[in-house]
Amino acid sequence: MVFKYLEKKNKSHEKVIFCFHPETKLKAIVAIHSTTLGPALGGCRMLPYETEEKALEDVLNLSEAMSYKAAMAGLQLGGGKSIIIGDPNVDKTPEMLWTFGIYLNSLSGQYITAKDMGITIEDLQYIGDQTSYVVGRPIDRGGAGDPSQFTATGVYYGIKKAVQLKLKRNSLKDLKVIVQGIGAVGSFLVKLLYQDDVEVLVYDINESAMIAMKEKFPKVKILSREEVFKRDCDIFAPCSIGAIVNDKTVETLKCSIIAGGANNQLSDLSIAEKLQSKNILYIPDFVINSGGLIYVSSYLDPKKSEEWIRSKIKAVSSTIEELCKISFEDNVSLVQMAFDLAQKKIKRGKI
Ligand code: NAD
């Protein structure tokens, strides 16, 4: 088997490795942002990126966010991520995934992969046929299974806390929440909100997902692409791709809180200031969406109990409370504060 490795030292990352394997059409990038706190754990995303530059940009940003996510969740883990360039519905083959697994072995555990967009737990089983540096394989094969409901649960706790602090309400009943993206995380979040009598509005590029959602939860309202960033709501919950809150959408969003499961929701940090000036409370994604990471990380340490998982995910809410209190009292940017705190933890090598 011949791999063409290109190793690139990036200023902000410990390691960035490109892997091209023409025989299986594998084109992947692994980015390890930091291993200061532990091995870099982060999902593998498969998307038909328009260019390699866009793929690289995505994996660099995602892996950096994983470092901050682990640090903020108090996990002894570093930050890394991988991407496979291709359409998951067309290009993915077992051979491609096996090759990816073999290739992960060469990193000797510095990077551990998991599920992200375009990769299923069955795909992880193929990767796991070749490497042990993977978490989240099917439960009936001894794996952790899909972590998405744990991510959604953490987001739900985070939304409740944000509502308590910003809207001074202890219940979500009758609030209006837009869930943008109803895949694995978004659909579970919808379920939790629906149980709380929330008025849920959804949008997804996949029309059949919206129809299925409506059948399951008849009171859910379906939005069009034009409406999703314009409709009045209390909470806007991005649960799809990154950079959904950007220069364009920030102008039209009409909500009090942005809190969702997607990674890297802001196109850049300047958007945080714009949100603050619009009096929109943005809960940093790497603080609110760590539930799945907490869950899969427990599979790396047999001493971690179900109780440990539950309390760690609940702690998402207290972290948000602490950050918001300082941010409100001192009128400082919550996002910047969260970044600074996470970076401090990584620098001193302690969670
Ligand atoms: P998924 O692939 O299951 O779902 C994503 C959904 O978003 C799909 O239904 C897709 O059709 C939809 N979508 C894609 N582009 C869209 C767009 N432009 N507008 C509206 N909908 C769009 O992925 P997931 O596992 O639910 O992850 C969603 C987000 O949450 C990703 O950003 C992922 O990185 C992040 N995340 C996931 C987990 C997890 O446990 N799965 C953990 C942390 C963060």
pLDDT, tens digit (0-9, with 9 covering 90-100), for 206-220 = 999 999 999 999 999
* Choice from 59, 92, 116 to test ligand 1 binding pocket (greatest atom count within 8 A of CB): 116
pLDDT (tens digit, 9 = 90+) per residue, 86-144? 999 999 999 999 999 999 999 999 999 999 999 999 999 999 999 999 999 999 999 99
Helices (H), the chain: 52-72, 94-105, 121-130, 148-162, 184-195, 207-216, 249-252, 270-277, 285-288, 291-297, 306-330, 334-348
Which atom of ligand 1 approaches the CA of 69 most closely?
43
d(CA 295, CA 70): 12
CA gap 324, 305 in Å, rounded: 29
Using pLDDT thresholds of 50, 70 and 90, give the confidence band for residue 350.
Answer: confident
- The two structure tokens encoding residue 1: 């088997």
Binding site membership of 186 for ligand 1 (Cβ less than 6 Å): yes
What domains appear along the chain, each with residue ranges and CATH number? Answer: 12-70+77-146 (3.40.50.10860), 149-348 (3.40.50.720)
Q: Which residues are catalytic?
A: 81
Q: Is 238 in the pocket of ligand 1 (CB under 6 A)?
A: no
- Which pair of tokens denotes residue 110? 């510095």
CA angle 344, 350, 351 (to 5 degrees): 85
Percentage above 70 pLDDT, the chain: 97
Ligand 1 atom closest to the Cα of residue 209 is 9
For residue 167, the 8-state DSSP code is: I
| DSSP H or E run through 179 | strand 176-180
How far lies 249's CA from each of 104, 227, 236, 244, 246, in Å?
38, 11, 12, 7, 5
148 in contact with ligand 1, CB cutoff 6 A: yes
**d(C-alpha 242, C-alpha 248), whole Å:** 14
pTM: 0.96
Residue nearest to atom 5 of ligand 1 (CA): 183
Looking at the CA of residue 264, tell me the nearest atom of ligand 1.
32
Cβ–ligand 1 distance for 70 under 6 Å, the answer no
